[in-house]
Amino acid sequence: MNENRRRRPPEKEQEKTAVVKKLFRRFAHKTSLAVGSPAAFIAAVVVILVWAITGPLFHYSDTWQLIINTATTIITFLMVFLIQNTQNRDARAVHLKLDELIKNIDGARNWMIDLEDLSDEEIDAFQKEFQRFTKQARKRRAAGK
């Protein structure tokens, strides 16, 4: 192996990874905002209309159909990752905000912080507990208490 080609120190790798993550986060966020806009929807409708209108010009050929199928498949495939990234970040932020509220409310069960990390069965048990609590509260409200 060429001695001039040395491995980067771990700090440099971490910095590079952090920069890539930051750039991807910004790109994913801006893209999700853009594609979730009315203008993006209208643009998509216009593209579909243009494609449909050009059908007779191309005699509804296989190539004509392949163009829209390929384009929509590629766009959908890429958008899944971008939107999932944005939703994961949003969900984490909401969980952290809720955890902060739980932590600072007197009488709150602080052990419920990070509840999302429990098993599905444990979460189901808590959901049933809260459903019982809600039913009781509604009964009290209906009784005028």
Give tens-digit pLDDT for 134-143: 999 999 999 9
Q: How far apart are CA 89 and CA 60, in angstroms?
A: 43
- The closest alpha carbon to 101, from 88, 92, 110, 91, belongs to 110
Return the pLDDT at 6: 63
pTM over 0.85: no
Q: What is the DSSP letter of 118?
A: S
4 pLDDT exceeds 60?
no
Place of tokens 């390929």: 70
Q: What are phi and psi of 81, to 5 degrees?
A: -70, -40
pLDDT for res 38: 95
pLDDT tens readout for residues 6-16 = 666 678 888 88
Residue 54 main-chain phi, psi, to 5 deg: -80, -5
* In contact, 28 and 82? CB cutoff 8 Å: yes
CA distance 51 to 60: 10
Give me the torsion for CA of 50, 51, 53, 56, rounded to 10°: 150
